[in-house]
Amino acid sequence: MPLRIVANRPDPAILNLPWSTPLEDWSDEYVVPLPRGLSRHVVRIVRLGRRTYAIKETTEEIAFREYRLLRELDRLRLPTVLAQGVVAGRTDSQQNPLPTALLTEHLRFSLPYRSLFSHGLTVENIPSLVDALVVLLVRLHLSNFYWGDVSLSNVLFRRDAGAFSAYLVDAETGELHPTLSERLREHDVTVGCENVFAELLDLEASNAVEGDVAVFAIVDRIRERYDALWSELTGAEQFGADEMWRIEQRIERLNDLGFDVDELDINTGVDGDQIQIRPRVVELGHHRRELQELTGMNVEDNQARRLLNDLASYTANCDLSREDRDVVANQWMSRYYEPIVALVPPELRGKLEAPEVYHEILHHRWTLSEQAGREVDIFEAARDYIQHVLSRRPDEVMAPPEMPPPALTT
């Protein structure tokens, strides 16, 4: 039976994969040793040239459904893995049918939650992972997506300036609705609490993390953080006509959370003395969009916030507040960001993404300055960090990422 391949970004090398062999029997010729999360399906990660794919075996109906759903979520600019294609009609050498394969692009510098604990995480980092999961869930719900199987196992995590960003990796049970009901939102939160509870107990029982995991407190945190964030992003606020400043205050609070307000519903009372506002369309990425406009860099939102803060410090220290902000940003990039990132030798560039390296160098500089009782030069701090910290970290990507060309240092 001939193969049927549907792909949104056709890669001819896909045809060379051993589709007549069950995925669990693929050899190291194709499979690369990247960490994989827990899954009810057989999943393998393969390298084709410079591209890396996660391949999952499932039924044809589910594969095509998830492929189309992931593409739609990507169109909505939601944080998910990118669906690359479906390979159906597979048979083995005896013409026995094999499962259909769903291909997604492997998310660089991402790790399953269990693998993070072999990359330096401790029990103190678990609340940050849960917070990232909550932000992802809220963003999906804002776009009327019902997940159906909320869990740490169904996401990949990327470092984000000391915190984490979560990306949906399994949309098999998901559904896009015209409007998402409160009942479905509540069900997702309940399922998330139950799944995370079980995952944390398993994490503790397997000794994957040292120390006691405050399971009940962390699960309570899921509901508390979800309710608080959902209320801030969607809740109505009422005030008097003489308090119009509260509209700008609400927008600023959302910006501080990293969200932009694309649409605000404003209603006045019959006599005009009362005003009610409710955000109707909000989108995460306030800081990353601002940084991208200034520098062209596309990073996670917390990383963007950190880099913008450093840019603001540079602007103040050099008394450049009256200069064009684009010009100042270009100076900061050429004098600090690019030369510092270029200090990382090629063999260490698979440790962390460049923006995360820069964030950690800023933190390392603060630590060294505290110890020395003086302000340590950032290039001195960078060299010390690379030698004593970065060099000891495990790799988080298989191939060295693209990084800016070496620049002159000061």
Pull the structure tokens for residue 126: 């678990």
pLDDT of residue 37: 56
Model pTM greater than 0.75? yes
User: Domain end: 58, 73, 106, which one?
Assistant: 106
Burial of 33 (C-beta count, 10 Å sphere; 0-12/13-18/19+): exposed
Whether residues 66 and 81 share a domain: the answer is yes
Task: Provide the residue range defining the domain that includes 372.
Answer: 301-392
Asked if residue 11 belongs to a domain, the reply is yes
Q: Judge if 47 and 22 occupy the same domain.
A: yes
Same-domain status, 117 and 229: yes
Parallel, antiparallel, or unpaired for β 43-48 and 4-7?
unpaired
Ranges of H-type helices in 82-123: 113-116
Contact 41, 58 (CB under 8 A): yes
**C-beta of residue 133 within 8 angstroms of C-beta of residue 191:** no
| pLDDT at 1 (0 to 100) | 55
According to the model, what pLDDT value does residue 41 have?
81
**What pLDDT, on a 0 to 100 scale, did the predictor assign at position 34?**
65
The DSSP output letter for 335 is I
| DSSP code for 402 | P
221 and 177 in one domain?
Answer: yes
Residue 87 in any domain: the answer is: yes
Tell me the one-letter amino acid at 393. Answer: R
pLDDT digits (tens, 9 = 90+) for 157-185: 999 988 899 999 999 999 999 999 999 99
Same domain flag for 323 and 353: yes
Is 247 within the bounds of a domain? yes
Look at phi and psi of residue 373 and say left if phi exceeds 0, alpha if psi is from -120 to 50, else beta: left
Q: Note whether 166 and 102 are same-domain residues.
A: no
CA distance 139 to 154: 15
Domain C-terminal end among 218, 234, 250: 234
CA distance 339 to 334: 7
Reading the chain (410 residues) residue by residue, the pLDDT tens digits are 578 888 887 778 888 899 999 999 998 888 887 655 566 788 998 988 778 899 999 999 999 999 999 999 999 999 999 999 999 999 998 899 999 999 999 888 888 988 888 777 888 889 999 999 999 999 999 999 999 999 999 999 999 988 899 999 999 999 999 999 999 999 999 999 999 999 999 888 888 887 788 899 999 999 999 999 999 999 988 888 888 888 888 888 888 888 888 888 888 876 767 888 888 878 888 999 999 999 999 999 999 999 999 999 999 989 998 899 999 999 999 999 999 999 999 999 888 999 999 999 999 999 999 999 999 999 999 999 999 999 988 877 654 344 444 443 33
Q: Are residues 125 and 204 in the same domain?
A: yes
Distance in angstroms (rounded) separating the CA atoms of residues 28 and 46: 9
> Does 273 share its domain with 375?
no
φ/ψ of 318, rounded to 5, equals -95, 5
295, part of any domain: no
Q: Is the dihedral of CA 104, 107, 108, 111 positive or negative?
A: negative
Residues 318 and 263 in one domain: no
Query: Is residue 17 situated within a structural domain?
Result: yes
**Distance between CA 403 and CA 80 in Å, rounded?**
24
Q: Indicate the residue type of 112.
A: P
Q: Both 271 and 211 in a single domain?
A: no
CB 197 within 8 A of CB 214: no
CB 396 within 8 A of CB 352: yes
Cα separation, 297 vs 353, in Å, equals: 12
- Residue 205, in any domain of the structure: yes
Last residue in a domain, options 106, 129, 144: 106
All residues at 6 or more sequence positions from 230 whose CB lies less than 8 Å from its CB, including other chains: 138, 141, 185
How many domains, in total, are found in the chain? 4
Position 114 scores a pLDDT of 87
Q: H or E element: which one contains 364?
A: helix 354-372
Do 146 and 215 fall into the same domain?
yes
| CATH number, domain with residue 173 | 1.10.510.10
Residue 370 domain flag: yes
Same domain, 118 and 230: yes
Q: 152 lies in a domain? A: yes
First-to-last alpha carbon distance for the chain, in angstroms, is: 64
Backbone torsion region of residue 172, taken as left when φ is above 0, otherwise alpha when ψ lies between -120 and 50, otherwise beta: alpha
